Every structure is written in C-alpha cells, then in structure tokens.
Amino acid sequence: MSAVTINGISKTFDGKVAVKEVNLDLRDGEVLGIVGPSGSGKTTLLRLVSLLIHPDSGIITIQGVNAEGSQEHRRRLRTQTAMVFQYSALFDTNIFNNVALGLKIRGFGKREIETRVRDMLGLVKLSELEKRRANTLSGGEAQRVALARALVVQPKVLLLDEATANLDPKNVEIIEGLVRRANVESRTSVIIATHNLNQARRLATRIAFLLDGELVEVGDTAEIYANPKDERTAAFIAGRMVW
C-alpha cells in the first residue's frame, strides 16, 4: 500500500492553474523529492496532500483512505501527516509548548507529553532552551523546533516544504539527519519539496519534476540525475533556464 496516492489532482487560484492533473504516489517508507523552479506548484501540491486545501478535481488517499469527506473526516486523516513549512510558523509561547501542541490535541497524557517533548528537544539539540519563547530564537533554532513539533507526533507521512531554504549548513545538517532518522528508524514516509538539487539527491529515493503545475517526469534519483528522459528535466538538472 502506498502512503499517499495522488490521482488526477488539479488546483486553480484566481484563474491561474497551480497544479494540473498530477498523478503521483508516495511509496510506504520512501523519501520522495519534488523538485522544480519557484512557482512550479510544489507548495500547492504539498498543501493538497496535507489536506490544508481542497483540490478542484481528483482524489488523494492517505494510508489507503480517501481524503474527501466531512471536515471531521479530514481532520482525523490529517493527524496521519505533519508538515514543516519554509518559515517555522511557531506560536507565541515557549519552545516546550510549541512542540507539545500536537500531542495535546491528540489527547496524550501529561507524563507522556513531557517525555516525548524532552526526548525530541534532545534530538534537535535544544534541550536547554525549552523555556525560551519562540520569538527569541534564531531562524535555524526556530526551524528545528518546527521539525520537532512535526516529528514528536510520529506521523505516518512527513511533508517538508523548502524546510531548509534559509538555513546555514549546520542547521541543514541537523535537520537532514533527523529526517533520515525518522525515515529509517520509524519508517516515516517523506515528501521533500525543494529547488535544492543537492539536497534532493542526498535524501530522496525518487525524484518528481514539476513545471508549471504539471508532472514532467518521475523516477529513481540516480536515473533522473544521470539519464533524464525529458529535455526539460535535463535542463533543470543542468541548471539551465526551463520554460
């Protein structure tokens, strides 16, 4: 069973097509890289998978369950996923409370919340800052908190939208290491949307190339980089302008 299946998904905003008839699957336990230039539809596709927005047409299934249905159905299904955005989007409270929020919403007890949150803060190397308010953190620290908040709920599917785009190499290394760990140890299925081809190559099992909202090509990472089948994919991989 695929972790996520995307069948014929389309989405338009104010008459502009953001995603057009995309068919794609996230295999159970894999890391899928979605690459493409800015404005290619990567963020919209992730927001559709995370059930933050509805498609105009097409079907998304998560863990074999059709995402369409009542608001309550979508809310329950959304608990199978967690998303980290390009900007950390933390709440105006301390680090501990930010990381604990998803566990509280899911009804975990106080003791388990404390254990999970402190374990996760240790993994992101922020244990000593748990009482610091989010608005006092550096950009790298804030993004590590955002990742901790996503991983602490042990999602089946982790979605990363340019999550390291504005970070220094040290923070990128920490975040990539945690993504690998979640994928290998917890079998978390991961979608990484990025224009960083080196990062996609390091982390992804397969690569999907989006351009102008359309899925141009998808394949194993090594094959996409060494022998892309579409000339637009080849141009993007080579760093040339793609129209």
pLDDT 10s digits, 19-41:
999 999 999 999 999 999 888 99
- pLDDT at res. 241: 64
In whole angstroms, give the CA distance from residue 193 to residue 145.
Answer: 19
| Token pair for 123 | 């993994």
Q: What pTM was computed for the model? A: 0.92
Beta carbons of 26 and 46 less than 8 angstroms apart: no
Measure CA of the first residue to CA of the last residue in the chain; give whole Å.
Answer: 35
Q: What integer pLDDT is reported at residue 163 of this predicted model? A: 87
- For the chain, how long is the longest CA-to-CA vector? 55
The whole-angstrom separation of Cα 40 and Cα 193 is 11
Under a CB-based contact definition with an 8 Å cutoff, are residues 9 and 68 in contact?
no
Mean pLDDT of 161-171: 88
Domains parsed from the chain with CATH numbers: 4-88+156-237 (3.40.50.300)
Mean pLDDT of the chain: 92
* Averaged pLDDT for residues 77-92: 87
User: Is residue 157 a contact partner of residue 189, using CB atoms and an 8 Å limit?
Assistant: yes
Model pLDDT, residue 89: 80
Looking at residue 231, what is its pLDDT?
A: 93
Q: How far is CA 57 from the centre of its chain?
A: 22
- Residue 56 amino acid letter: D
Predicted confidence at residue 38, as pLDDT, reads 86
Confidence of residue 88 (pLDDT cuts 50, 70, 90): confident
pLDDT band at 166 (very low <50, low <70, confident <90, very high): confident
Tens digit of each residue's pLDDT (9 = 90 or more) over 189-240: 999 999 889 999 999 999 999 999 999 999 999 999 999 999 999 999 988 7
Contact between 168 and 162 under an 8 Å Cβ cutoff? The reply is: no
Instruction: Please give the share of the chain, as a percent, with pLDDT higher than 70.
Output: 99
Mean pLDDT, residues 51-74 taken together: 92
Whether residue 191 contacts residue 18, with contact meaning beta carbons closer than 8 Å, is answered with no
Tell me the pLDDT band of 167, cut-offs 50, 70 and 90.
Answer: confident
Query: Tens digits of per-residue pLDDT, 110-119?
Result: 999 999 999 9
